[in-house]
Each structure stands twice: as C-alpha cells, then as structure tokens.
C-alpha cells in the first residue's frame, strides 16, 4: 500500500512559507496567493477530498483557519497555484471554499502578529468517504471541520512556519 502524502513545490515541509503567500491586509503586504498542493497514495475508496490550512498558534484561543476547501472530486490530485482565489474559478468543478477566519470564501494568507515567534501552518488533505459534504455554503470552519473529520478515511499533512519581525 502506498503512503498517503501531501507536498508543495512552493513550500518545503518543515521549512518557511515564502512571503508571496502572506495575506495582503491586517498589516501584512503579501500577494495572498495559495500555493500549489499535490497529493498521492489516497485510499481507492475516497469519494472526495477536503484541503485545510490551519494556524494552531494564532492568538485567538481557537487557532486560525486560512483555507478550507471541500467537495474536491475523487480524481483530484493537486490544486494549482492561486486556486484559492475568491470565486473559486481555479478549483475543480463542484469544489467549494468554506469561509476562512478572515471572513471570505478564499485563501487567506499567512499573517502572524509582528514579533510573535514564527507560527506553524498545517496543510492537510483529507480523503473522504462521501462525494459531497452535507453542509451549507455559509458553514463555519468549525462545522466543516466536524463534518470532514466525521467522514475522513485518511489524511496527509505537512507543516511549515512563518513569522514577521
């Protein structure tokens, strides 16, 4: 059996997130573009995928959801550069972006508070047992996370860090 893995040619696992993936706002001035993500070795019984990007170090008490994509078709093995643009045109047909903690249905780039230790950003792909999650388009990330976890067959992750002086 092949291991289920997630990687990015743009962001090294265990490395630093490049500045172009930083948010453009909240005092940050990046390009707010989502990176290329690629996965392989998913269970054959996967009926869809979800992709999340989460910062457990955000000073909120509950972390920070930067990106939450659900209903990616079963044959999907990657997301292209800037697939997280608002409107979802860069995503495969049928995929949906759940509102992130910036309040938009799109990629929200990294933007830790200045002077904080570098934050960890956890990129995860979930292989799901259902073709579509039964959640509304305006679901919160917490609700989407609950439903994703309830239907996860397997998941693959990598973590990278980012800090601001």
Interatomic CA distance for residues 10 and 36, integer angstroms: 6
Structure tokens at 145: 């996370």
**Total domains, the chain:** 1
Mean pLDDT of the chain: 97
What confidence category does residue 2 fall into, taking pLDDT thresholds of 50, 70 and 90? confident
Note down the domain range covering 138.
5-162
Alpha-carbon separation of residue 115 from 22, 49, 149, 155 (angstroms): 15, 35, 33, 32
Rounded to the nearest angstrom, the gap between the alpha carbon of residue 14 and the centroid of all alpha carbons in its chain is: 16
pLDDT at 57 over 70: yes
Query: What CATH number does residue 77 fall under?
Result: 3.90.280.10
Q: Per residue in 82-131, pLDDT tens?
A: 999 999 999 999 999 999 999 999 999 999 999 999 999 999 999 999 99
What is the per-residue pLDDT across 14-45, written as a single tens digit (0 to 9) for each? 999 999 999 999 999 999 999 999 999 999 99
Q: How far apart are CA 64 and CA 141, in angstroms?
A: 10
Q: How high is the pLDDT of residue 1?
A: 62
């Amino acid at each position: 059996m092949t291991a289920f893995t997630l990687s990015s040619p743009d962001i090294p696992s265990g490395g630093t997130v490049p500045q172009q993936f930083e948010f453009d706002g909240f005092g940050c001035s990046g390009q707010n573009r989502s990176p290329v993500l690629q996965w392989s070795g998913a269970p054959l019984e996967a009926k869809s995928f979800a992709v999340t990007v989460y910062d457990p170090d955000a000073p909120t008490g509950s972390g920070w959801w930067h990106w939450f994509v659900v209903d990616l078709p079963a044959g999907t093995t990657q997301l292209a550069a800037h697939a997280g643009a608002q409107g979802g045109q860069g995503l495969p047909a049928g995929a949906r972006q759940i509102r992130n903690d910036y309040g938009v249905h799109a990629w929200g780039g990294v933007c830790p508070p200045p002077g904080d230790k570098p934050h960890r950003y956890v990129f995860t792909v979930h292989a799901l047992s259902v073709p579509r999650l039964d959640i509304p388009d305006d679901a919160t990330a917490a609700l989407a996370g609950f439903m994703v976890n309830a239907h996860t067959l397997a998941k693959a992750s990598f973590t990278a860090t980012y800090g601001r002086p």
